[in-house]
Amino acid sequence: MEHIRTTKVEQVKLLDRFSTNNKSLTGTLYLTATHLLFIDAQQKETWILHHHIASVEKLALTTSGCPLVIQCKNFRIVHFIVPRERDCHDIYNSLLQLSKQAKYEDLYAFSYNPKQNDSERLKGWEVIDLAREYKRMGVPNGKWKLCDANRDYKVCETYPKELYVPKSATPPMIMGSSNFRSKGRLPVLSYCWQGTEAVICRCSQPLSGFSARCLEDEKLLKAISTANSGNNYMYVVDTRPKLNAMANRAAGKGYENEDNYSNIRFQFVGIENIHVMRSSLQKLLEVNGNKGLSVNDFYSGLENSGWLRHIKAVLDAAIFLAKAIVVENASVLVHCSDGWDRTSQVCSLGSLLLDPYYRTMEGFMVLIEKDWISFGHKFSERCGHLDGDPKEVSPVFTQFLECVWHLTEQFPQAFEFNEAFLLQIHEHVHSCQFGNFLGNCQKEREELKLKERTYSLWSFLLDDKQKYLNPLYSSTSETVLEPNTVSFNFKFWRNMYHQFDRTLHPRQSVLNIIMNMNEQNKQLEEDIKDLESKITQCKNGMLTKDLLHAVHPEPPALKTSLCLKEQSLLPVNDTLRAIEGSNPADNRYCDYPEEFSKPEPAVVSLEYGVARMTC
């Protein structure tokens, strides 16, 4: 709270940034330890988490007040007009401090308390078990083994403790290969396709320069290749553009020399680096935020940003992996520079195309844990969780989620989860509300003791599972997805980049309509069951009444007008109640006990249209 100078400012205006006549809402702005809150005159609340704030800009003073523009990592943009410049200055300085924390312990996850006890919190972290996931893939087996060489993170600090390597791999091979790879990230197993022995492995670039080689690394790649008896070669996929890889050679790094690795086929796929992606997203957001653009200018700006072109490049690389495994039965080794950005994108998407399990809600969580969190994608640096180098921030994981969204658009029946699930994950990657994405590697997360001090996002999502289910999902849909990446299949993800805009024409997606119809159908089914139950009860009641009538016939009608009047006033079920003995002293029967034993049938005659019974 020491960073908060002003906690409340009244008569603040919230501008509608897409309005042509500068519409605004007037209300009160509150600043808390975790959120910025605006409440308008109709008591509608707008909450902004401090950790979601990407930038704060204080513009020049105007006649109506001091403008304050806030851009968020979840692509929300808010434009306030604060009446007094002094108040605006205080809020501006406070938000600069609160949105860029210096240490992990100051992040929201360490103070967030959903009122769960310790056992419930730990249970939430146990939802995802990677050992169980590798067992599902069929490893360890006769070709692959669990290696404990990294149990103390001595081989590679940014890898998980448990690594799966070829069974023939020896400790010297593992250590030699680690020393020859950037950041020590040696080739290890990422995914084993159960259809054959083909696998996806991952690593970082070799420190080969122009001529250096490593026999241990060459032997390890040979072991990966021979572990797949269905093919005598493997692909090495360098996700970088070839020019970038060649430039790294001058710095003593680079890529594998096919002359030294006789069993490999080398392939570049040309995904740009984090700096190009950051610039591309910024251009996209500039186009989105310009309310004066024509349709032609918007699409021209979208094209010039290159964003969808980058999305296509990532998907094309994943498709190459899937085809190599399915069509050629060849194993694939993937790397970029350090093996934690483009490598994570391509390995995870390739696995998603191959394995229907990863298209379920639980499987998708497992995929993120395996290929992103455990293998050291630098979430805190790429998402700017702390006050660090802005050049390390890049939308790598956002691109992955967008690739998945494009796949859900092409294959609407293949995914158990819906768009809201992807948006919610993106929201909390940046919110710092849960511990899953804090830190840059597993070693760092263990040092922070996140499982003991924070909560898991996965249990939070599973508790509200119905909200994220895709009503079109079919578990019997395509086993292997084969997406078409021609240009017209890529489109602007409106619900990601414009999800907070109030002025857009309200429209409901087909999936939302179907989900609402499903809810209505469920309610109707419950109503029908309730009515059927009541009908059954009524039938049982009538059946009981008929049986009782068969045993105890109705007494003869009294011939006096008084008795007829009394009969007409009795409730319909009163006869049944009396026969069941609820009131044995009922004078309708005790006055005429002899009538119950008469064997003669009653004769019904009609007089002037009135039924009379005689015995």
Confidence check: pLDDT of 582 > 70: no
pLDDT attached to residue 537: 84
Counting Cβ atoms within 10 Å, is residue 492 exposed (0-12), middle (13-18) or buried (19+)?
middle
DSSP string, 234-267: EEEEE-S-HHHHHHHHTTT-----TTT-TTEEEE
Which pairs count as long-range contacts for 240-246, CB under 8 Å and 24+ apart, including other chains?
240/268, 240/270, 240/271, 240/273, 240/336, 240/337, 240/342, 241/268, 241/270, 241/271, 241/272, 242/268, 242/270, 244/273, 245/205
Sheet holding 188-192, edge to edge: 188-192, 199-202, 331-335, 234-238, 264-268
DSSP state of 231: -
- Catalytically active residues are 336
Bond before 140 cis per omega within 30 degrees: yes
Residues of the chain with CATH 2.30.29.30: 8-101
Q: Is the dihedral of CA 484, 485, 487, 493 positive or negative?
A: positive
How far apart, in whole angstroms, are the C-alpha atoms of residue 335 and residue 344?
9
Which conformational region is residue 185 in: left (phi greater than 0), alpha (psi within -120 to 50 degrees), or beta? Answer: beta
Using only C-alpha atoms, the chain has a radius of gyration, in whole angstroms, of: 35
- Ligand-binding annotation for 371, yes or no, is no
Tokens of 358: 């990863």
Tokens of 448: 């922070």
How far apart, in whole angstroms, are the C-alpha atoms of residue 113 and residue 462?
18
- Ligand-binding annotation for 248, yes or no, is no
Counting Cβ atoms within 10 Å, is residue 210 exposed (0-12), middle (13-18) or buried (19+)?
exposed
- Ligand-binding annotation for 336, yes or no, is yes
Q: Is the dihedral of CA 319, 320, 323, 329 positive or negative?
A: negative
Host H or E run for residue 166: strand 163-166
How far apart, in whole angstroms, are the C-alpha atoms of residue 336 and residue 320?
15
How far apart, in whole angstroms, are the C-alpha atoms of residue 498 and residue 363?
28
- Ligand-binding annotation for 70, yes or no, is no
pLDDT attached to residue 129: 95
Best CA proximity match to 302, nearest among 82, 141, 487? 487
Q: Which tens digits make up the pLDDT trace of 79-125?
A: 999 999 999 999 999 999 999 999 999 999 999 999 888 888 988 89
How far apart, in whole angstroms, are the C-alpha atoms of residue 52 and residue 291?
23
Range name among 5-9, 177-181, 289-293 with the lowest pLDDT average: 289-293
Instruction: Please give the mean pLDDT across all residues of the chain.
Output: 87
Best CA proximity match to 337, nearest among 246, 400, 467, 414? 246
Regarding predicted confidence, which is higher, 517 or 268?
268
Confidence check: pLDDT of 576 > 80: no
How far apart, in whole angstroms, are the C-alpha atoms of residue 366 and residue 98?
32
Host H or E run for residue 546: helix 510-551
Cβ-contact 345, 311 below 8 angstroms: no
Instruction: Give residue 604's pLDDT band: very low, low, confident or very high (50, 70, 90).
Output: very low
Which segments within 41-92 are labelled E, that is strand? Answer: 45-49, 53-58, 66-72, 77-82
- Ligand-binding annotation for 93, yes or no, is no
Average pLDDT on 38-42 reads 94
Helices 295-305 and 274-288: crossing angle in degrees, nearest 10, is 170
Query: How many beta carbons lie within 10 A of that of residue 23, not counting itself?
Result: 14
The predicted model scores a pTM of: 0.83
Q: Which tens digits make up the pLDDT trace of 538-557?
A: 877 776 666 556 655 555 55
Whose structure tokens read 């090495």?
A: 236
Confidence check: pLDDT of 327 > 50: yes
Query: How many beta carbons lie within 10 A of that of residue 489, not counting itself?
Result: 14
Best CA proximity match to 555, nearest among 590, 585, 584? 590
Contacts of 256 (CB under 8 A, 6+ apart): 206, 208, 221, 236, 264, 266
Phi, psi of 267 (to 5 degrees): -145, 125
Confidence check: pLDDT of 589 > 80: no
- Ligand-binding annotation for 274, yes or no, is yes
How far apart, in whole angstroms, are the C-alpha atoms of residue 382 and residue 69?
23
CA-based end-to-end distance of the chain:
96
Which pairs count as long-range contacts for 541-544, CB under 8 Å and 24+ apart, including other chains?
544/576
pLDDT attached to residue 150: 97
- Ligand-binding annotation for 341, yes or no, is yes
Range name among 325-339, 418-432, 438-452, 464-478 with the lowest pLDDT average: 464-478
For the chain, the residue count is 615
Tokens of 595: 């009538």
Contacts of 418 (CB under 8 A, 6+ apart): 408, 468, 469, 470, 511, 515
- Ligand-binding annotation for 278, yes or no, is no
Q: Which tens digits make up the pLDDT trace of 135-188?
A: 999 999 999 999 999 999 999 999 999 999 999 999 999 999 999 999 999 999
Best CA proximity match to 271, nearest among 200, 341, 199? 341
Instruction: Give residue 262's pLDDT band: very low, low, confident or very high (50, 70, 90).
Output: confident
Whose structure tokens read 């026999």?
A: 215
- Ligand-binding annotation for 590, yes or no, is no
Q: Which tens digits make up the pLDDT trace of 233-247?
A: 999 999 999 999 999
Q: Which tens digits make up the pLDDT trace of 220-231?
A: 999 999 999 999
How far apart, in whole angstroms, are the C-alpha atoms of residue 195 and residue 244?
35
CATH class of 8-101: mainly beta
Best CA proximity match to 253, nearest among 322, 207, 202, 287? 207
Q: Is the dihedral of CA 481, 485, 486, 487 positive or negative?
A: positive
Q: What percent of the chain is modeled with pLDDT above 70?
A: 85
How far apart, in whole angstroms, are the C-alpha atoms of residue 305 and residue 286?
9
pLDDT attached to residue 598: 41
How far apart, in whole angstroms, are the C-alpha atoms of residue 275 and residue 270?
14
DSSP string, 413-433: TS-SB-HHHHHHHHHHHHH--
How far apart, in whole angstroms, are the C-alpha atoms of residue 450 and residue 589?
80
